[in-house]
Amino acid sequence: MKTLTVFLSTAISLLLGTAPLTACAQQSEAHKMKQSYQSPGKPGSKTAINYKVSKERVAVGEPVQVYLTTSNIKHDITARLQTTDNLILSSDSLMTFKSGTQTQQSEEKVITVIPQTEGIHLLTIYAKDLSVAYEKPIAIQIVAGDKPIQDYLEINGTLEQQDDGETVISMPAEEK
């Protein structure tokens, strides 16, 4: 009797066309679970270097400490440090953060920079995970002086009002 019931229900579902739909639904559901993939987006290093600056604004000649930390890194990270003109780096310009295979604690390194003039200075860290071929730049801003930041910004061009009311920045072309 059970065989007849199963046979009849299968025959009826085949005639009505519901069996293939349920099979397809089950297959597509299983297919969705296997295909759960998220695009990584743009290629970029997984290096995670966090930083903290001891002071936001300093006087000219006053040392500034920059604290660099990493945590839970899988591969060693090299960091190449570069400063803009008139910002002196008083530590080595190349450092390595070791991977935490034995311990999961973060590693901290301290860098000291000294601005020589008033203005906005940049300390750029080029971090590279040793398992990849590209570097991740991290720019840290150091402001020396007590003027508003707008006074230190360079003006690249002039604002001009066009006949149609649109404002355009006119920048002169340089020939070489």
What pLDDT band is residue 11 in, cutting at 50, 70 and 90?
Answer: low
Q: CA 66: distance to chain centroid?
A: 19
Question: What tens digit of pLDDT does each residue of 114-167 get?
Answer: 999 999 999 999 988 877 777 888 899 999 998 888 888 777 778 888 899 898
Q: How many CA atoms lie within 13 A of 74 on its CB side?
A: 4
Token match 């007849």: residue? 4
What is the three-class DSSP state of 93?
A: coil
Q: Which residues contact 21 (CB under 8 A, 6 or more apart)?
A: none
Strands (E), 26-135: 50-53, 57-58, 64-70, 77-83, 87-89, 94-97, 107-115, 119-129
pLDDT at 14 (0 to 100): 53
Q: What is the pTM of this model?
A: 0.60
